[in-house]
Amino acid sequence: MEAAGAGAATPSHASMVDTDDFDLSRLLNHRPRINVERQRSFDDRSLGDLYLSAMDGRGAGGYMDSYESMYSPGGGLRSLTGTPASSTRLSFEPHPLVGDAWDALRRSLVCFRGQPLGTIAAVDSSSGEVLNYDQVFVRDFVPSALAFLMNGEPEIVKNFLLKTLLLQGWEKRIDRFKLGEGAMPASFKVLKDPKRGVDTLAADFGESAIGRVAPADSGFWWIILLRAYTKSTGDHTLAETPECQKGIRLIMNQCLAEGFDTFPTLLCADGCCMIDRRMGVYGYPIEIQALFFMSLRCALLLLKPEAEGNKDIMERIVTRLHALSYHMRTYFWLDFQQLNVIYRFKTEEYSHTAVNKFNVIPESIPDWLFDFMPSRGGYFVGNVSPARMDFRWFALGNCVAILASLATPEQAGAIMDLIEERWEDLIGEMPLKICYPAIEGHEWQNVTGCDPKNTRWSYHNGGSWPVLIWLLTAACIKTGRLKIARRAIDLAEARLARDSWPEYYDGKLGRYVGKQARKHQTWSIAGYLVAKMMLEDPSHLGMISLEEDKAMNPVLKRSASWIV
């Protein structure tokens, strides 16, 4: 993450927020209804059924019960991780690292007017001293939020959701340009005035970020987290408030706005997501498309059809979901068989019957890919646009594709096969490579602009990020590949605390603490805790996973790489 400097000048628009101007305290004081029964989830019904029942007045919100896991949750006892004890078949002795991780996570909590609001990016685990920056980043807080939800502490997450929603409503400008109403902040910080005894919030919508890029993913993560809160607590009242319903509509309207696009994917600038520096992910990056897909599905579940303006947006969401799933499963998917097809592509085809619809030049296939692609396995490539296919592997996008059921069951299994087959490349000695492979030489100069931070096998350019272990674990549980998750967590436990919870690791195998990695990184800590808690009680997966929509039939036949 790139943070604004602590002494950066505060913009005149949307950065200073005094919440006395808004009356959302009634929501903060409301205690959620805890849904202790695990009933049939509405998520496994098709989008068509969901929409029709919603139009009949029944709504989606009332059906959003707990995820019907293939695993049984444990009893009411609390384990060392603070989660319900798992069944005997899946239980294991808590690692002593877990207690230290919780202590470190709690030290990172920041309060606003006496209430915990979120976690800042890095805090010294022993002294509690703020390190490097003191912002609460929206995407960074997600694993912390999930940890608190899994530990039965939803109020922190509720406070965060409401305060970021409040910030969305402010006018947002960069120089003389006004951002869309639906834009969510990249981060915010709490400013304390000891003389007046008043706390205020200062938000950054991209005007202080390196490159001045607005985050395309913040709104998606906010919707996904709102759904996770609702699934975890059984409290539908927060999502059903007019404020939250409006917030969802604004995000959806901004993403679904009509333009000159010929594809259902979302066009983005470089550096608009977790990879927030120039890395050649402009266009239609897999990370944004997977999050976009997941947020569309979550929004459809959270929107109340009877609310004003929701019927039209729900219709547009359903239409976009079907188009997006077809496009991604057809044109972004790559396995051995499809690679051979692309290798034999003809070019300059001009007709509706063209096979090479994006005019991808076979000579653009990088040499490394022929050795990297196993006979078993596959993945969603990094980017597809006219005459351009980014063949790099990106971890976050592929894991979210599994969790959102953007990947078919066959494709999800093939992604896990690839991870197993290419363990040294994608996992190495520290999970998980943010992307593979690293770019270097002339390509590095052209793509990154000679970025000294994104040198080969470092940071976003093939670096290993421990925070991603929670996404890997969730994908493993959903696909029934628990051994992969356990093996990855064992690797992380061997070094994370000893290395002071670094932000990322360098090297082809992830052996070295990153040359500019921040220590005591909060989301490295939270990612580990979430992974451990999901393994102990796999039913937690329900708050971050969506079942396959039966209406979106897979357009691909069973992949040759899929083994039953």
**188-221: per-residue pLDDT in tens?**
999 988 888 888 998 888 887 777 788 999 999 9
Check residues 335 and 213 and name the one with the higher pLDDT.
335
Does the pLDDT of residue 6 top 80, yes or no? no
| Residue 156: per-residue pLDDT | 97
In a domain, 325, yes or no: yes
Q: Do residues 170 and 203 touch, judged by C-beta distance below 8 A? A: yes
Q: What is the number of other CB atoms lying within 10 angstroms of the CB of residue 15?
A: 25
In a domain, 128, yes or no: no
Convert the pLDDT of each residue in 123-137 to its tens digit: 665 555 555 568 899
Number of domains present in the structure of the chain: 1
Nearest CA to 332 out of 556, 550, 46 is that of 556
| Residue 96: per-residue pLDDT | 85
Nearest CA to 504 out of 495, 514, 496 is that of 514
CA angle 545, 463, 287 (to 5 degrees): 35
Residue 469 identity:
I
| Residue 323: per-residue pLDDT | 97
In a domain, 330, yes or no: yes
| Residue 77: per-residue pLDDT | 32
Please tell me the least confidently modeled range out of 175-179, 258-262, 423-427, 490-494. 175-179
| Residue 127: per-residue pLDDT | 53
Which range of residues forms the domain containing residue 408?
A: 102-108+141-153+216-543
193, containing H or E segment: strand 187-193
CA–CA dist 367, 380 (Å, integer): 18
In a domain, 41, yes or no: no
**Average pLDDT in the 408-417 region?**
98
Does the pLDDT of residue 157 top 90, yes or no? yes
Confidence of residue 553 (pLDDT cuts 50, 70, 90): low
In a domain, 335, yes or no: yes
Confidence of residue 402 (pLDDT cuts 50, 70, 90): very high
Which residues neighbour 7 within 8 Å (Cβ) at sequence distance 6 or greater?
Answer: none
In a domain, 172, yes or no: no
Convert the pLDDT of each residue in 115-125 to its tens digit: 999 999 876 65
Which residues neighbour 418 within 8 Å (Cβ) at sequence distance 6 or greater?
Answer: 374, 376, 377, 378, 379, 393, 426
Does the pLDDT of residue 110 top 80, yes or no? yes
* Torsion sign over Cα 527, 530, 533, 534: negative
Residue with tokens 């605390």: 497
Nearest CA to 559 out of 293, 289, 339 is that of 339
In a domain, 169, yes or no: no
Helix ranges restricted to H, 303-372: 310-327, 336-343, 367-372
Convert the pLDDT of each residue in 257-273 to its tens digit: 988 889 999 999 998 99
Confidence of residue 56 (pLDDT cuts 50, 70, 90): very low
Q: Do residues 117 and 160 touch, judged by C-beta distance below 8 A? A: yes
| Residue 123: per-residue pLDDT | 67
**Average pLDDT in the 129-154 region?**
88
CATH of the domain at 438: 1.50.10.10
In a domain, 288, yes or no: yes
HSE value, Cβ hemisphere, 13 Å, CA-based, for 219: 28
Q: How many residues does the chain have?
A: 564
Single pTM value for the model: 0.84
Q: What is the number of other CB atoms lying within 10 angstroms of the CB of residue 18?
A: 10
